Amino acid sequence: MNRQSTTAPDAEGRTLAYTPAVAAATAGLYDRVRAVVPEAEWPVHAPYIDAIERLKRSRGAVVLAHNYQTPEIFHGVADLSGDSLALAQQAAETDADVIVMCGVHFMAETAKMLSPEKTVLIPDLEAGCSLAASITGADVRLLRDRYPGVPVVTYVNTSVEVKAESDICCTSSNAVEVVESLGVDRVIFLPDEFLGRYVADNTDVEVILWKGHCEVHERFTGQELRDYRQAYPGIQIFAHPECPPDVLSEADYVGSTAGLIRHVEATRPERVVLVTECSMSDNVAVAHPDVEFIRPCNLCPHMKQITLPKILTALERMQHEVTIDPSIAARGRRAVERMLEVGRGAGG
């Protein structure tokens, strides 16, 4: 790799140089990610990674990266990585004063909800979510009026306002367990229709659905997966439960982002397709060079709002800070705590 000084303008109009010192400081990291980050891109990323690492220390900050972030963020500057709830829980246990959420807005809200005393920053306010945007707290109140006495189970991929109107939260990995823990004949399940259908197929509880969708997962089709099987004989297909039912029926394994990663680790398939957001395959591939990942590239436009230059600017300016009304945060936190109590009661 050419280690002469190279420059890269950022959104601020600044130029960060890829100097020999930056090259040396980031060489070990690049050796790790070279299979998923082209060599030509590294001189652009490395100066930001080096600057962010130094600024994190002076700010007492921790950077959280969701599984759908690009590899230069996920492997380059993240202190904690994983799915949204696990990130927020881990961040709450750190001594960091500042949390930078490299994810979407509801994830930053969850981090703030679980760490009210910490400063939580999101590098871009436009990093939203089609699923979270599909429902509001007012919608939940109307559903309660329509179905009096029916408990509301809400997926964690929602705003804190929606969580606050709910009886209990769930994740994609524990949704069935949470629904069955309530001991009722029917529940309102919000907001992901496809995850709700997956729950309904795996329990005797009647599930009242909302038509919210993830714009990444809803684009996959069963025919697309059949085409993969024809093109790549013996391929394993692991799918996220936010996908449509015809996709899940074609999958060899269905699980959350964390579940997909664990299943790759446990089974070490020769060739696999992860039916979820595109960048996750890149991030998982770093730890599994022996596995061939076939990559259907459905990108989340909201996750991709987060970039290294924006992370650096967020730390420099301490922007954009996420705040939540304390009364709403307390009610939302209680819905999450009820979910965690179910897990503890079931032995984890």
Res. 147: pLDDT tops 50? yes
Peptide bond into 191 cis (omega under 30): yes
β-bridge partners, 189: 153, 209
Count other C-beta atoms under 10 Å from residue 290's C-beta.
8
Extract the tokens encoding 283. Answer: 């991030």
Cα dihedral sign, 120-123-125-127: negative
β-bridge partners, 95: none
Query: What pLDDT digit, counting tens, does each position of 12-43 carry?
Result: 667 799 999 999 999 999 999 999 999 999 99
pLDDT at res. 348: 26
pLDDT at res. 11: 60
pLDDT at res. 296: 80
pLDDT at res. 341: 92
DSSP of 256-309: -HHHHHHHHHHH--SEEEEES-HHHHHHHHHH-TTSEEE------TTGGG--HH
Res. 217: pLDDT tops 50? yes
Q: Which domains does the chain have, with CATH numbers?
A: 7-128+303-317 (3.40.50.10800), 132-213+324-345 (3.40.50.10800), 217-294 (3.40.50.10800)
Query: What pLDDT digit, counting tens, does each position of 235-278 carry?
Result: 999 999 999 999 999 999 999 999 999 999 999 999 999 999 99
